[in-house]
Chains A and B, each alone.
Chain A
Amino acid sequence: MGWGMKRIEVRVGDATARYTLLEDAPKTADAFWESLPIEGTITHARWAGSAVWVKTPNQPIAALDDIELPVTSIYPGTIVVRPNPRGVAELFLSYGVAESRGPVGRTYATPVAELDGDGAELLAAFGATWQGGSTEVSITRAEDES
């Protein structure tokens, strides 16, 4: 795709951090980029471990029905995309040890972005949803995006 370094910004309350769009899965990453901004509610994972997830009906990411670069491990500070047959895309944002999985075992997802720096405040905000409950998230293109 050759897009240089595209960056996005993720905000939860007052906590923000920047991520770099990955080029490893260009079709999915491009669909993710074209679907921004994404506004929604993050809820703590119940199977995946230290991660939150948000679903979005935004196009074109919601129309993807394949997993371009299947991974199970969701490393801290990574965003992955998982298609959902109900016409939405599920984004998982990890803040610790996490794995794409469900009731019957491992599932797969495509990584699309990676945190710049440590993003400690944002990751703490993700982790706080476990005890504190769901909250709003905003995922946008960074103003100086490239």
Chain B
Amino acid sequence: MTKLRITVDGVTAVAELKDAAAPNGVAAVLGALPLQTRVVHASRSGNCAVVHDAALRDESAGIEGQVSMYYPGMVAYDPVRGYLVFAYGQGQARSSTGTHWVTYLGDVVENAAELAAKLQDTRDRGALDVRIEQGE
């Protein structure tokens, strides 16, 4: 099973990706790694933080295992916009034009609570550095 290591402000968490349900999305995200960028709180989508990077954009990946709602610990991927979304609570894929579908890419399975606290911090602290790499 493909894993991601996500490091924010000294906390490293591991997410397991849905190789079978979202093969194109997993391949697209792996192709962008390692990624050293910023994670910022969502402004319309609720309790989640977003990594927006051009390297993540891959329209050919399409939406797989489509979802709109986010739940705690969920990792979602929008290949058109180049967004990776890390939810720490309830949220939904929304923009100024309405709601959207995204790919359900995986779930955080290690250090979920610690990562959630850092993601929630971005509400008050603003964007934080994030490193995303393939896990073992």
Contact = CB atoms under 8 A, between A and B. Distances in A.
Interface of A: 43-50, 97, 103, 129-134
Interface stretch (B11-19, B29-37, B40-48, B100-108): B40-48
B96 interface: yes
A47 B99 CA distance: 12
A134 B122 CA distance: 9
Q: Is the interface of B mostly helix, strand, loop or mixed?
A: mixed
A103 B90 contact: yes
Interface residues of B, number: 16
Contact of B43 (A45, A103, A132, A134): A45
Contacts, number: 47
A97 B96 contact: yes
14 contacts: A46-B41, A46-B43, A46-B44, A46-B45, A46-B46, A47-B46, A48-B43, A49-B43, A50-B96, A103-B90, A129-B126, A130-B126, A131-B38, A134-B126
Nearest to B121: A133
B126 A131 contact: yes
